[in-house]
A and B are shown apart, each in its own frame.
Chain A
Amino acid sequence: MPPVIKVTDLRKNYGELRAVDGIDFEISRGECFGLLGPNGAGKTTTVKMLTCALPLSGGDITVDGLSVNNDPRGIKYILGVCPQEINLDPDFSVLKNLVVYSRYFDIPYAEAKKRAEELISRFHLHDKLDRPIEDLSGGLKKRLLLARALINKPKVLILDEPTTGLDPQSRRQIWEEVRGMKSNGLTTLLTTHYIEEAELLCDRLVIIDAGKIVEQGTPKQLIQKHLDGKGNLEDVFLKLTGKHLRDE
């Protein structure tokens, strides 16, 4: 089966800085794929190029056979995107956020309303249905962001640090959702720096640092290879990316 996502020699330069410096990976259908790396490694930059929000400096990305360079619209119809930065629409209530967002996908109103209500109950947002976004806690905002990413019934889900800043309960709840979607066969790309999250959710992962892939494999393979099967993925991560602080 051809890969759902294929990234080839992907590059992004910001002036002198090579934020993404020639990375390659493939994601198969139904797989949950992890993109790990310290702050500033180039995860969000990669995600933005994949979601057609940022032009490539080099290389190519195809999603379901479509190239970001030729058919960004076609790709955007089948992606569900949960960005790192919370960009819910502050001018609308929780429900209206979902309904307005679904309009961008040409989903008719009756259907949009139905999907929005399903998602609201699935993500336990009903108490806040008519509240403006600014009234939501950080955890609820993240949940709404994830709900919003599903409104167009995506083929591929892109999660950029979906649990950063959440308490253990909310984090667990999002993990449950991601695992549920995975068992329904949804292909997922997940970025994180919570190593336990990657170990728990990802079938395969790459570790990137300074825009380059430094290691890849299943969590088990990486522990086996670098630590003789003893220890955890966090030790592998620290061993590969060093212990010094990153970015800024």
Chain B
Amino acid sequence: MNNAFILKNISYRAWHMWRRNVDVSLVTWKTNIIPPLLEPVLYILAFGIGLGAYVQKINFDGRAYDYLTFLAPGMIAVGIMFHSTFDTMYGAFVRLRYQKTFDAVITTPLSAEDILAGEILSGATKGAFAGAAILLIVTLFGLASYPSSLVILPLAALAGLMFASFGLLFAALAPYIDNLNLPIFLFINPMFLFSGTFFPLDGMPAWVRLAANLLPLTHLVNITRAATFNRLSPALLWDLLYILVLTAAVAYLSIRKMKARLIK
């Protein structure tokens, strides 16, 4: 039951938990498939056609882009973030506290670590699926370059793991479900607004840029934007490294904290 053994206690059985959650999503697949496909259409309507009419070209990295073209990779990144964070944050909280799902599974051969790793995997799957769906819509609107945009598919899976881990961590730390408003207010919403999603960070004061660079979504947006703009470069490896390290750290921490809540 020692924390040092978290890695040792994760086995292929995590996929059984993943399968359980995917099965639940498949039962209600219609309600799960529509939001990631419809959301970007709404964004394109509101920002592209509504706001875009008032915004001139946006200068980014020495070139001018339509507002919609600029926004598209931000939408993909935000979609990955929302879908994977919310899946574990609310889903895992409900399964832990209300549905007692984990209490039932813990007496089967799955370890607590298997269960929680499975939760992260299924949250990441939702995020990756959302990322791919938004990419599809954006592509249909002619807002993504290829083949560079294909990088987004594996990246969405990785970023999904990161945000699903954050969601699980928040669920582990919240005593009551209403407490989950706090990470949304303090973490998710600021990222949504200040990660270079809606406007380039170049024009912002230095301290804002510095703060933005601490936010994981900023690094995801950096890569998705370079991908849809066909401007991938080695400098993006730093963003990738940041995401990799943070994913590992938060996944570990979230499993540890949630396990402490599951097994008292």
Chain A residues proximal to chain B, CB less than 8 Å: 14, 51-55, 72-73, 76-77, 79, 81, 83, 85, 87-92, 96, 100-101, 103-106, 152
Contacts and interface: CB of A to CB of B under 8 A. Distances in A.
A87 B263 contact: no
A89 B99 contact: yes
Given A53-B263, A81-B107, A104-B109, A87 B23 contact: no
B118 to A, nearest CB: 10
A100 B21 CA distance: 10
Given A72-B111, A87-B101, A104-B109, 20 more contacts: A51-B107, A52-B107, A53-B103, A53-B106, A53-B107, A54-B264, A76-B108, A76-B109, A89-B20, A89-B101, A91-B24, A92-B24, A92-B27, A100-B19, A100-B23, A101-B108, A103-B20, A104-B13, A104-B108, A152-B108
Contacts of A91: 24, 27, 99
Contact of A100 (B20, B100, B107): B20
B23 A104 contact: no
Interface secondary structure of A, over-half rule:
loop
Of the four ranges (under 10, 10 to 19, 20 to 34, 35 or more), the interface on chain B belongs to 20 to 34
A13 to B, nearest CB: 11
A83 B99 contact: no
B111 A83 contact: no
Nearest to B101: A89
- 6 closest cross-chain pairs (CB), A and B: A104-B108, A87-B100, A87-B104, A81-B107, A55-B1, A51-B107
Contacts of A96: 23
A54 B13 contact: no
Contacts of A52: 106-107
Interface of B: 1, 13, 16, 19-20, 23-24, 27, 99-101, 103-111, 263-264
Contacts, number: 64
Contacts of A85: 100, 103
Greatest chain B CB density within 10 A among A54, A90, A152 is at: A90
A41 to B, nearest CB: 19
Nearest to A93: B27
B110 A104 contact: yes
Contacts of B1: 55
A223 B252 CA distance: 55
Greatest chain B CB density within 10 A among A73, A91, A106 is at: A91
14 contacts: A53-B103, A53-B106, A73-B109, A76-B109, A83-B103, A87-B100, A87-B101, A89-B20, A89-B101, A89-B104, A104-B16, A104-B105, A106-B16, A106-B109
A79 B109 CA distance: 10
A55 B106 CA distance: 12
Contacts of A88: 104
Contacts of A51: 107
Nearest to A151: B108
B19 A54 contact: no
B214 to A, nearest CB: 37
A199 B16 CA distance: 40
Nearest to A102: B108
B23 A92 contact: yes
A83 B99 CA distance: 14
Nearest to A79: B107
Contact of B263 (A14, A54, A77, A81): A54
A96 B252 CA distance: 31
Contacts of B99: 87, 89-91
B109 A77 contact: yes
A76 B108 CA distance: 5
A87 B99 CA distance: 7
A177 to B, nearest CB: 20
A185 to B, nearest CB: 22
B245 to A, nearest CB: 31
Nearest to A99: B23
A5 to B, nearest CB: 15
B29 to A, nearest CB: 13
Contacts of B108: 76, 101, 104-105, 152
Contacts of B27: 91-92
